[in-house]
Structures are given as C-alpha cells and as structure tokens.
Amino acid sequence: MDLLSPELGLFVWTLLAFLIVLFILKKFAWKPILNTLGERERGIADSIAAADRVKKEMAQMQNENEKLMVQAREERTQMLREAKQMSEQIIAKAKEDTRAITDKMITDAQQQITQQKMAALTDVKNQIGALAIEVAEKVIRQKLSSEDAQNAYNSLLSQEVTLN
C-alpha cells in the first residue's frame, strides 16, 4: 500500500526531477521537436499539393492523349478514304486506257482487214482479167489460125477504128 500513498519527500523529489526534465526539454528539445513537426507537416502538405498537381496534370495529359487519339483516328480515316479514292481513280484510268488501246487495236485490225480485202479483190480482179485475156487470146489464135481469117479480122478492125 505504500505505493498508493506516497510520502511527501518522494513527491517533492519526483516533482523537482519532472520540472528539471521539463525545463531541459523546453530549453533544448522543444523547439527542434516543434520545428521538425512543423517541417514534417509542411512536407506532408507539400506532398499532398504535389500529388494533387500531378493528378491534375495526369488528367490533363489523359484528355490531351484522348484528343490526339481521336485526331489520329480521324487522320487515319481520311488517309484511308484518300487512298481508296486514289485506287479507284487509278483503276478507272487503267480501264479507260485499256479501253482506248483495245479500241485502237480493233480499229487498226479493221483497217488492215479492209486493206487486205481490197488487195485480195484487186488481185482477184487482176487474175480474172489475166485469165480473160488469156482465154480471149487463145480463142482469137484459134479463130485466126489461117491467113484468110487474119486478113478478114484486120479489115474488120480497121473499119471500126476509122468509124470511131
């Protein structure tokens, strides 16, 4: 029970030791502890503010990134559209060029066919003419094989020539 009811001397010495420790702490340790706590509080506040700034910057960067992604998608779509138009134009031009070349080839072929036809007709006419002359020559030779027939034919020709 002694612990529950301390003596006055023990109480005074304990109080004196407490006041000395309190004075020493106040004189040497209180200000550095308060300064350290203040610095820590400011550091925590600065860290929270920095975290908020970083969070805002991240949100802003994310928004900018989304805008850039949308713009990139639009540009990609535009480029694909232009590429498709160019390919369609190239195909159309190739078809047009092919059609023109084909038409020219057909026209040239038709002209060649016409020329060959005309040449063949001329050749046939020449051959027919040559055959007609050859047949006429043979007929005339046969008719004029005698001298009397030749004289009669000559006089007939001379009468026709003078009449014309």
For 45-68, how does the pLDDT look when each residue is reduced to its tens digit (9 = 90+)?
999 999 999 999 999 999 999 999
pLDDT of residue 164: 46
Residue pair 144/153 in contact (Cβ under 8 Å)? The answer is yes
Q: Mutual orientation of helices 31-143 and 147-163 as an angle, nearest 10°?
A: 120
- Is there a domain that residue 3 lies in? no
Whether pTM > 0.75 for this model: the answer is no
- Is there a domain that residue 110 lies in? yes
Of 2-6, 53-57, 150-154, the one with minimum mean pLDDT is 2-6
Residue 140 makes CB contacts below 8 A (sequence gap 6+) with 153
| Tally of domains in the chain | 1
* Domain of 132, in residue numbers: 8-163
- Is there a domain that residue 2 lies in? no
